[in-house]
Amino acid sequence: MKISELSRRTGVPVASIKYFLRQGLLPAGRATSATISEYGDEHAQRLRLIKALTTLGGLSIAATRDVLGAVDQADTSEGALGAVSYALPVPVAAQGGAGPEEDDGATPAAAAEVAELLTALDWQAPGTSPHVQGLTTALRELRRLDAQYGPGELAAYARLAEGVARLDLERAAVLEDPVALAERAVIVFAICAPVFELLRRLAQEDQVRRRLTGDGAGGAAPRS
Amino acid sequence: MKISELSRRTGVPVASIKYFLRQGLLPAGRATSATISEYGDEHAQRLRLIKALTTLGGLSIAATRDVLGAVDQADTSEGALGAVSYALPVPVAAQGGAGPEEDDGATPAAAAEVAELLTALDWQAPGTSPHVQGLTTALRELRRLDAQYGPGELAAYARLAEGVARLDLERAAVLEDPVALAERAVIVFAICAPVFELLRRLAQEDQVRRRLTGDGAGGAAPRS
């Protein structure tokens, strides 16, 4: 198909397609003349993934290039899942308080908290994982705010997070083709994250309302 | 105390304190001369809350003013909790796809999905709630991506979100004084949200690793 048809089919403007071509996000088409190229279904699929990453996932062009490169190098579905997971930006941990250069004891305490958690849950993640590092930073800043988690609190959250991750994987891993699966994983990992956060906020709202009206049925007491 | 002492005690630079005073975020001190004012503990506490909102919560000055105004008007702990919850920015829902003006059937379908969910879970939230509206927008965009949740999937996520919200409320609602509680609620609602997201990403990473290595012990099968 010509670039105009590619634009029509994907809803991405021609100028944007040309920009993605120049930025190396989209492979060049097959040149049929000096000014005309032919594009295939693989271009349309790649464009939908670029659109999902940049528009819905909110990724920069550089971050999008990283994700696409990781997906291209993955030769299995699990590899593609892992690549997307590592390439997506780590959620912004709490920032501020004392600078990281100040050794106030919060850094080793937070690192120990993360290590203990991983051991207790038997979660496999190396110290180089961006998620381990992000969690360590977040817990360090909470300690500096004197708002650290109490004994068992972090593990209680982690057990619920494990349940959410299990649902995520079930939603993402239904496809065999690594590229199609990567597109799905981007949607589930990056775009559905706010959905869970909204559900959490809705549940908070419900529980605050019940406290206000004195209706404890769904408040502090577990209902499930 | 003088402004220099207020700065020293809170770690907020004098120039920033003056900026917050000009912006009306911090009440004026008691003038003891034409150029010198006296500040009290309530100023230090308010400054810590402003710092938490702007630096750690990432709120704009305008959004911070909204939260502070809501906290000041709340006369109960539950009121302060609700005020903070409503005043904090709604998590960014998926944006993009067709414009909201295009009536493609996704909007009513998403609205019906949210209404059914609230009924099924017996969650109390009015249609005017920013969380109801945010969730409706997110589900509409997922429908346009042909990535909507299957039957029961959203409810499964919502049950886990309810558990997270219960932990949140337990962490937040330990204080009686509305302003102290509001400070705590900001930390729990706004700053700890990335912690859960990091735990979810870590759990995803663990489960992907187990699939890659063929170690199913913690993969698809529930462990708890």
Check whether B218 has a pLDDT greater than 90. Answer: no
Q: A53 is written with which tokens? A: 């990453």
Q: What is this structure's pTM?
A: 0.78
Q: A223 is written with which tokens? A: 């209902």
Beta bridge mates, B31: B37
C-alpha–C-alpha distance, residues A82 and A78, integer Å:
6
C-alpha–C-alpha distance, residues A166 and B220, integer Å:
7
φ and ψ at B13, to 5 degrees? -60, 150
For chain A, give the mean pLDDT: 82
For residue B144, give Cα distances in angstroms to A9, A205, B49, B61, B141: 14, 28, 40, 34, 5
Pick the most confident of A28-37, A45-54, B70-79.
Answer: A28-37
pLDDT at A169: 85
Residue B189 near residue A122, CB atoms below 8 Å:
no
Contacts of B187 in chain A (CB under 8 A): 142, 145, 147
Give A99-132 pLDDT, tens digit per residue.
444 557 888 999 999 999 999 999 988 888 888 9
Assign B197 a pLDDT band (cuts: 50, 70, 90).
confident
Give mean pLDDT, residues B83-90. 78
Give A38-52 pLDDT, tens digit per residue.
999 989 988 988 887
Contact B142 A78 (CB under 8 A): no
C-alpha–C-alpha distance, residues A195 and A202, integer Å:
10
pLDDT at B93: 54
Q: Does B155 touch chain A if contact means CB atoms closer than 8 Å? A: no
Pairing of β B30-31 and β A37-38:
unpaired
C-alpha–C-alpha distance, residues B133 and B127, integer Å:
7
Cβ pairs A/B, distance under 8 A: 282
Contact B160 A160 (CB under 8 A): yes
Q: Which 62-101 residues of chain A touch chain B by CB within 8 A? A: 76, 78-79, 81-82, 85-86, 90-97
Q: A127 is written with which tokens? A: 């110290």
Check whether A217 has a pLDDT greater than 50. Answer: no
Sequence-distant (6+) residues with CB within 8 A of A126 are A132
Give mean pLDDT, residues A63-76. 81
C-alpha–C-alpha distance, residues A164 and A170, integer Å:
10
φ and ψ at B3, to 5 degrees? -65, -30
Q: B191 is written with which tokens? A: 């700053």
Give B43-76 pLDDT, tens digit per residue.
998 898 888 778 767 788 988 888 888 778 777 7
Contacts of A166 in chain B (CB under 8 A): 203, 207, 220, 222
Contacts of B96 in chain A (CB under 8 A): 51, 55-56
pLDDT at A223: 41
Of A124, A191, A197, nearest to B210 by CB-CB distance is: A124
